[in-house]
Structure 1
Amino acid sequence: MKKKILVVDDEISICLLLDNFLSKNYEVVTINNGLDALIWLDSSIPDLIISDIQMSNMDGYEFLTKLRQRGFTKHTPCIMLSGKSESKERIKCYKLGAQDYLTKPFNPEELDELVKKNLYPIHYAIEW
């Protein structure tokens, strides 16, 4: 059974890009805003979440905060995407509970490594 990845981004092109890239190895669900993602999470639990920071309705910081306040998604790995590369943005995400932070435009190979690291942390380390 494929691992399930939730992608939350209000840019349709990013959702399509991530779905196209990740769906070869994973089941991918794309949702275009944080509010709808939280509603979807009421009935589904993904193995990994990839979320943009700059979104309308609810930004990625608020989404991540609400994600971590829920008992059943409190420990779900989350990779944050942003067009900003400043370290203060990364630090804020880490303090809110993100496992990783990737700057757009991103290298697909780096995304692949981050996804594997978060989905298979023990096995990934053994392969070294």
Structure 2
Amino acid sequence: MMTTVKTILIVEDEPMTRKLLQHMLGKTYNVIACDSAKKGLHCLKTNSTIDCVLSDLYMPEIDGKEFVRQIRQNALWAKIPIIILSGAQESDIRINCLEIGADDFITKPFNPKEVQLTIAAILRRNHYVGNHKKDDTAVVSPTPLVQKYMPW
């Protein structure tokens, strides 16, 4: 069975958070990082291998909610999993993000393990359901750090 490294698109306007996510996720995944939703949409248009999007909620120009709406309205991207990151604590904001099409919501400051496990779980579900990729041989391989929390 062939193992395919998954590609994560990070859309985060805060440089330190973006670099932390790149460093943290780059050990397991191919990572593409953008500092705006506008650039994130461009990356989606030019890269057909994106397996998951990790996006900040509050960004200039196009915010995370509008970014999610635009992804969900495009038939080519509609089934790509999206995780929103935000410092917003209010449950109505979290609920609204899920209602408009986000697959999950992680509150900042985040625990790196939570981010890694959430991405691994979403990619695993996506693989088994066959939502995005047509390559049935792809396998999500969690990092050794993540593996100790996953019994397989």
SS at match of 2:53: strand
Instruction: Kindly report the root-mean-square deviation, in angstroms, between the aligned alpha carbons of the 2 structures.
Output: 1.7
Residue 24 of structure 1 aligns with which residue? 27
Structure 2 counterparts to residues 40-55 of structure 1, below 5 A: 40-45=43-48, 46-55=50-59
Is the counterpart of residue 11 in structure 1 residue 23 in structure 2? no
The count of residues paired between Structure 1 and Structure 2 equals 127
SS at match of 2:13: coil
Distance in structure 1 (CA, Å) of the matches to 2:111 and 2:151: 22
Structure 1 gaps, min length 5: none
SS at match of 1:120: helix
Distance in structure 2 (CA, Å) of the matches to 1:48 and 1:41: 11
Larger RCO, structures 1/2 (Cα 8 Å, 6+ apart): 2
Q: Which of residues 102, 108, 118 in structure 2 aligns to 1:104?
A: 108
Q: TM-score when scaled to structure 1?
A: 0.93
Structure 2 gaps, min length 5: 129-138, 141-149
SS at match of 1:113: helix
Residue 92 of structure 1 aligns with which residue? 96
Runs of 4 or more, structure 1, over 4 Å off, are none
User: What is the percentage of aligned positions where both structures have the same residue?
Assistant: 36
Which structure has the larger Rg? 2
Residue 37 of structure 1 aligns with which residue? 40
Distance in structure 1 (CA, Å) of the matches to 2:103 and 2:39: 22
SS at match of 2:113: helix
Q: TM-score when scaled to structure 2?
A: 0.79
